[in-house]
Structure 1
């Protein structure tokens, strides 16, 4: 499982022109069953994604395809987590 942070970078001002592409990219991640959750880093520092059912190289390739990453709107950082315990509602993450 992975936690991805997308922190605003030098081209932050270009976010509005790439928002449709970024949202389509997010939708695809959810449709592919890779993204479990996405949201905004507060206070408006960027975003975060919880990802699973993927490998690190595949996730890196997926992130490179995000228009926000490709256009320097955000910088992506990945933290890999090996789940050890989970609430029963999240037990599927332990498999």
Structure 2
């Protein structure tokens, strides 16, 4: 699993015009089952996305297609972790520690 932390690198006035395209991008990745949660950071200087999977290269490629990245208004910090414990509703995303 991955925590995708995006940080704005431009003023919010440059971010806002790209928001509709960013939300459509998010929606498509929710439909694919890649994203399971997302939202704005508080204060509003970026956002957080929880992504499923174990292929970091794929997640990096996905991040590169975010309209915010294409529009050069944010950067991503991607952290991979093993979700070995979850709420019952997230049980399908639990991972095993390597042997």
**Alignment TM-score, normalising by the size of structure 1:** 0.89
The 8 Å contact of residues 2 and 53 in structure 2, kept in 1 or not, is answered as no
| CA displacement at 1:53 relative to structure 2 | 3.1
Which residue of structure 1 lines up, in the alignment, with residue 26 of structure 2? 26
Query: Displacement of 1:88 after TM fit?
Result: 2.2
TM-score of the pair, normalised by structure 2: 0.86
User: Partners of 2:15 and 2:5 in 1: how far apart?
Assistant: 16
Distance of 2:11 and 2:65 partners within structure 1: 16
Gaps of 5+ in 2: none
Tell me by how many angstroms 1:74 deviates. Answer: 1.1
3-state SS, counterpart of residue 92 of structure 2: helix
Does the CA contact (< 8 Å) of 1:8 and 1:46 recur in 2?
A: yes
Q: 1:79 to 1:16 in 2, by over 3 A?
A: same
Runs of 5+ consecutive residues of structure 1 not aligned to the other structure: none
Structure 1's consecutive aligned runs of 4 or more residues displaced over 4 angstroms after TM superposition are none
SS in 1 for 2:38: strand
Q: Specify which structure has the bigger relative contact order, considering alpha-carbon pairs within 8 angstroms and separated by 6 or more residues.
A: 1
User: Where do residues 41-52 of structure 1 align in structure 2 (5 Å cutoff)?
Assistant: 41-52=41-52
CA contact (8 A) 1:13 1:73 kept: no
Give the number of aligned pairs.
95
CA RMSD of aligned residues (A): 1.5
